[in-house]
Amino acid sequence: MVSSQPKYELIQEVGRGSYGVVYEASVRRTGVRVAVKKIRCHSPENVELALREFWALSSIQSQHPNVIHLKECVLQRDALAQRMSHGSGSSLYLELVETSLKGEIAFDARSAYYLWFVMDFCDGGDMNAYLLSRKPSRKTNTSFMLQLGSALAFLHRNQIIHRDLKPDNILISQGRTAAGSPEPTLKVADFGLSKVCSASGLNPEEPASVNKCFLSTACGTDFYMAPEVWEGHYTAKADIFALGVIIWAMVERITFVDVGTQKELLGSYVQHGEEIMELHIPARKKSMNPGMKQLIREMLSANPQERPDAFELELRLVRIACRELDWDT
């Protein structure tokens, strides 16, 4: 990126937001396509989001087909660039950590700091664009439910609470079966609001349980936020609620129009603050698999204790999928 012989060649910009810019790129030596996210570390807020994403993705010791993979992270200051690793003792990395902790810039503001994340390249856009540009398909819905359930169980098993699950943050990698038919693979991405739960204070050797790790910072996207998140006392069960909204919206094609962008998006208010919306499931379909109907109701329960955890959810989605006999629609 910043060297006489850069490792990656940027091809084109594919996304931009207040947090950073994403490029399609290729590895010069092999030609393999990758995604490169460039994040400007010009404010404590940007630094915190970038580090949260880095800490979450770099804490995962194995890969999952439905979770975006961080191949490497490069920290750049002006013309100096170095590969960043979790727990690095480099002064540049420690300045970013200090900035995140103190909430104020801890480095020379005259210097330009950037973080470059090299990740999987997904050529199918996001889940919103993919589904809303196609006719409803039970086969696709079932496949996506299974992939999302597997991804969330993997994240929670690795003590990661995503906190911003929504179709915009789920990317599509286009693939094909041996017979040549489309076979999209979902990738859960955008871990800027995620939280890695630490081990229990009573027993540091015991792995943390995401369902016992209580968080207080209200964050996420309104249409997918669980009621307890608004109250500032929640666990990983908030991810279950968000996924419940996504699955319900996907199955019944429930959408809303974003006021800022005027884009049609999958999702719906289920509860906003103290306002509880009455659930009508199914809302649009004439009928729904009884097991699916009951599972969505439980995932969207106002009481997080009534929601399944990610591991039970994964198993129940597999059972429901096994009962879906018509794979041709």
**Domain CATH for 106:** 3.30.200.20
CA distance 72 to 68: 12
104 part of a folded domain: yes
- 208, 253: one domain: yes
Mean pLDDT of the region 96-122: 91
Q: Is 38 annotated as a binding residue?
A: yes
Shared-domain flag, residues 59 and 170: no
Query: Which of 64, 88, 120 is where one domain is finished?
Result: 120
The DSSP annotation for 136-161 comes to --HHHHHHHHHHHHHHHHHHHHTTEE
Q: Does 20 fall in a domain?
A: yes
Co-location of 27 and 83 in the same domain: yes
Strand 8-16 with 185-188, pairing? unpaired
pLDDT at 206 > cutoff 70: no
Domain contains 91: yes
**Could you tell me the CATH number of the domain that includes residue 201?**
1.10.510.10
Q: What angle do CA 220, 223, 228 make, to 5 degrees?
A: 60
* Boundary of a domain, candidates 86, 120, 154: 120
Q: Which of 82, 98, 120 is where one domain is finished?
A: 120
Peptide bond into 282 cis (omega under 30): yes
Q: What is the pLDDT of residue 328?
A: 46
pLDDT of res. 4: 55
- Token pair 């597997």 is at which residue? 150
91 and 151 co-located in one domain: no
Whether 152 and 271 map to the same domain: the answer is: yes
- CA torsion sign for 151, 232, 43, 87 is negative
Would residue 3 count as lying in a domain? no
> Domain range spanning residue 26?
8-120
Q: Are 222 and 144 in contact (CB under 8 A)?
A: no
CB 34 within 8 A of CB 27: yes
Chain-centroid distance of CA 315 in Å reads: 21
Task: Report the predicted TM-score, pTM, of the whole model to 2 decimal places.
Answer: 0.90
Please give the backbone phi and psi of residue 216, each rounded to the nearest 5 degrees, phi first: -125, -15
Q: Which of 309, 317, 157 is nearest to 238 (CA)?
A: 309
Q: Identify whether residues 72 and 133 lie together within a single domain.
A: no
Are both 58 and 152 inside the same structural domain? Answer: no
Residues 82 and 214 in one domain: no
Catalytic residues: 164
Q: Where are the alpha helices (DSSP H) in 138-261?
A: 138-157, 227-231, 237-252
Residue 321: closest CA among 158, 79, 174, 146: 146
Lowest mean pLDDT among 140-149, 208-217, 302-311: 208-217
Q: How many domains does the chain have?
A: 2
pLDDT value at position 314?
Answer: 97
Average pLDDT for the chain:
88
Q: What percent of the chain has pLDDT over 90?
A: 64
